[in-house]
Amino acid sequence: MRHFDYKDGEMFAEDVALRDIAKTVGTPAYVYSTATFTRHFNVFADAFKGRKALIAYSVKANSNIAVLATLAKLGAGADVVSEGELVRALTAGIPAQKIVFSGVGKTESEMRAALKAGIRVFNVESLPELEQLSDVAVSMGTRAPVAFRVNPDVTAGGHEKISTGKAENKFGIAWSSVESAYARAGELKGIEIVGVDMHIGSQIDSLAPFEKAIEKVGALIAKLRAQGHTIRSFDIGGGLGIPYGDNTKTPPPPSEYGALVKDLTSEMDVELIFEPGRMIAGNAGVLLSKVIYAKSGEDREFLIIDAAMNDLIRPALYDAYHEIEPVKASGRDFNTQIYDVVGPICESGDTFTKRRELPEMKAGELIVLHSAGAYGASQSSQYNTRPLIPEVLVNGDQFSVVRDRPSLEDILRAESIPDWI
């Protein structure tokens, strides 16, 4: 569910007109709904009532500290993959004991920062990482709590670039090496084994891959315990998909996912850890933009908007679909047009959609790209020296800019010309 709807012919975010945000902040801009973040987090958490579970929001989906603070108030933990994300989570008020540290390339500096903060667990992805982490922990006079991220070789995910649980993916410990990895961890002075972790992909639209992977890892947990290892937690990762408004399969709701997980883990005696990101943030945000030109090409019509691939790279990177609507409702009788909706960047890949039927639009009109709350702002860049765009958080009839648009002077201030030039 999202709180972006038409009222009296104008699209609102909760009780704020998007047109008013555009007048105040300018375009393009990201607009987020507090009510949607809240509802999505609570729906997911409610699916696991009665079980000991940590909902560690995946910071990479949307890392704005106002978003993180909103989720922290609801009781969320955090799944981080860098020292920067760790600092963001702590700054937003997420307790260190609710933070899990994932990622295949943790540096010594990141390990030290996480150990100093006292995070809940490191999701370790290789033996070299394990050895390094042990050395760092010993040098600090402590032990690092770890769970190995195991690769169950289960195919899942809506695109090959977001599938993470197959044998050829870079993530996790190969299934054939898991038991020897735990044996080595048990020998290291700086390591405390606490659990098992998996993450099989993103934008998963079926429960079948989860069922297969959980059953496989459940059997592994029993085997590891029989070998003398303490396994207190089972991190099932994230990956549950969201509806994007296209004609693809609608993912199952969190209630069905929760029922499956609770059933499959009922005899495991583990704390459950989850890392949802897209499911909480995806439909909590829109990209608000303005039409610059409507251009007639040789064999098609182009709608050129002021947002670009540097602002929202998902269509260029993943061929992702985003529902597109005008801010002003079209009314009963309106003309439609088949458009390629594109941005102003000098790349053919700067295309949000091709051959999409939309209401006929003209220069100056406002437009929204839905389902942009996850992997939108967090993946944005300043390519073509286009400033990062503002992020706006709405709460009821209020809104606040939670990331400013930098000036060109701000961008250039970070660079310098050497004396020899």
pLDDT number for residue 1: 67
26 and 88: one domain? no
In this structure, which long-range contacts are made by residues 72-76, counting pairs with CB atoms below 8 Å and at least 24 apart in sequence? 74/38, 74/41, 74/42, 74/45, 75/45, 76/41
- What's the average model confidence in pLDDT over 374-391? 97
Contacts of 321 (CB under 8 A, 6+ apart): 244, 245, 246, 248, 315, 353
pLDDT tens-place string over residues 314-341: 999 989 999 999 999 987 778 999 999 9
Q: Does residue 81 belong to any structural domain of this protein?
A: yes
Say yes or no: 156 and 273 in one domain.
Answer: yes
CATH number, residue 404: 2.40.37.10
Residues 202 and 341 in one domain: no
Q: At which of 279, 302, 334 does a domain end?
A: 279
110/129 same-domain check: yes
Query: What pLDDT is stored for residue 170 in this prediction?
Result: 56
Whether residue 264 sits in one domain with residue 290: no
User: Parallel, antiparallel, or unpaired: how do β-strands 29-33 and 391-395 relate?
Assistant: parallel
Domain that holds residue 329: 4-31+283-413
Report the relative pairing of strands 285-296 and 29-33 from DSSP bridges: antiparallel
The phi, psi pair for 264, rounded to 5°, reads -70, -25
The domain boundary, picked from 220, 246, 279, lies at: 279
pLDDT exceeds 90 at position 195? yes
366 and 230 in a single domain? The answer is no
Whether residue 421 is contained in a domain is answered as no
Domain count, the chain: 2
Identify the pLDDT of residue 153: 84
Q: Active-site positions?
A: 346
Residue 271 pLDDT class (50, 70, 90 cuts):
very high
137 with 229, same domain? yes
Last residue of a domain, one of 279, 297, 320: 279
pLDDT digits (tens, 9 = 90+) for 345-366: 999 999 999 999 999 999 999 9
Residue 149 CB burial class (10 angstroms; 0-12, 13-18, ≥19): buried
Classify residue 83: in a domain, yes or no: yes
Q: What average pLDDT score do residues 302-319 get? A: 96
Q: Which CATH number is 197's domain given?
A: 3.20.20.10
**Is residue 74 located within the same domain as residue 198?**
yes
Q: What is the pLDDT of residues 206-235, one digit of tens each?
A: 999 999 999 999 999 999 999 999 999 999
**Contact residues for 2 (Cβ-Cβ < 8 A; gap 6+):** 33, 36, 283, 284, 370, 371
**Exposed/middle/buried for 317, CB within 10 Å: 0-12, 13-18, 19+?**
middle
